[in-house]
Amino acid sequence: MSAASDESMREVGARLARGLEDVERAVGPNAWGRVESLVTELVSLYGEGLVRLLEHARASAGDAPALEARLASDEVVASLLSLHGVHPIPLEQRLERALERVREAIGEARVEIERVSNDEVTVRASGVNQAIAATNVTTLVAKAIEREAPEIASVHVDGFAAPPQPKLLAPDQLVRRGAR
């Protein structure tokens, strides 16, 4: 899969989010509850199908770890698996992988996970080179985490909130909290 394809899917996700906002404004609060319920049920249905597909693929794969690595490396598939809580790589591992990517980009600086709470991550950065502004580090961290853990809605670095990042999917708008 190509980066252009992933970018295209991010654009689709952004259009979906804007479309849902437009529909909410157009139908008003009474009808919006019904629309939201239908969208939630639809997402739950395809999510259950995705979960079952993953179970069948694992059962028939000769090399399940290779299958899971391949699924996790596809940004679109990984995003869907995250949305439904069945990503094959634990969140902590994906966050560490994201920060490793940031460490490679910024050199000597230290970047460590301070706290993970619900869908928020707080990262502590120290020893940042004078040439790298805190906002650049924040942006690097936010983008790396978005790629590895799209279910994370908010990233904070040394007290600086990350700039809003478009999501591949808008989980809060598509799935009720606690639903798969």
97 and 162, same domain (yes or no):
yes
- Is residue 159 assigned to a domain? yes
Matching residue, tokens 């693929």 = 57
- Is residue 175 assigned to a domain? no
Global pTM reads 0.64
Q: What is the pLDDT of residues 115-160, one digit of tens each?
A: 998 889 999 887 765 555 666 888 889 999 988 888 888 998 864 4
How much is the mean pLDDT over the chain?
80
Residue pair 172/17 in contact by the 8 Å Cβ criterion: no
Rounded Cα distance, 82 and 148, in Å: 10
∠ CA 109-7-56, rounded to 5°: 100
Q: What is the pLDDT of residues 29-66, one digit of tens each?
A: 889 989 989 988 988 888 888 888 888 888 888 888 88
76 and 99, same domain (yes or no):
no
Domain termination site, one of 71, 88, 105: 88
Q: What is the pLDDT of residues 60-105, one digit of tens each?
A: 888 888 888 888 888 888 888 888 888 888 999 999 999 998 888 8
- Is residue 99 assigned to a domain? yes
For the cut 60, the answer to whether the pLDDT of residue 11 exceeds it is: yes
- SS3 call for 159: coil
| Angle between helix 3-60 and helix 64-73 axes, rounded to 10 deg | 160
| Angle between helix 134-148 and helix 91-106 axes, rounded to 10 deg | 140
Closest by Cα among 154, 99, 90 to 122: 154
CB neighbours of residue 38 within 10 Å: 10
Rounded Cα distance, 85 and 80, in Å: 9
Domain termination site, one of 88, 112, 127: 88
Q: Terminus-to-terminus CA distance in the chain, angstroms?
A: 26
- Is residue 174 assigned to a domain? no
73 and 146, same domain (yes or no):
no
Backbone angles phi, psi at 167, to 5 degrees: -95, 145
Range of the domain at 155: 91-166
When divided into structural domains, the chain yields a total of 2
Within the chain, strands assigned E span 110-117, 120-126, 154-157, 160-161
Domain termination site, one of 88, 121, 147: 88
Closest by Cα among 52, 109, 107 to 84: 52
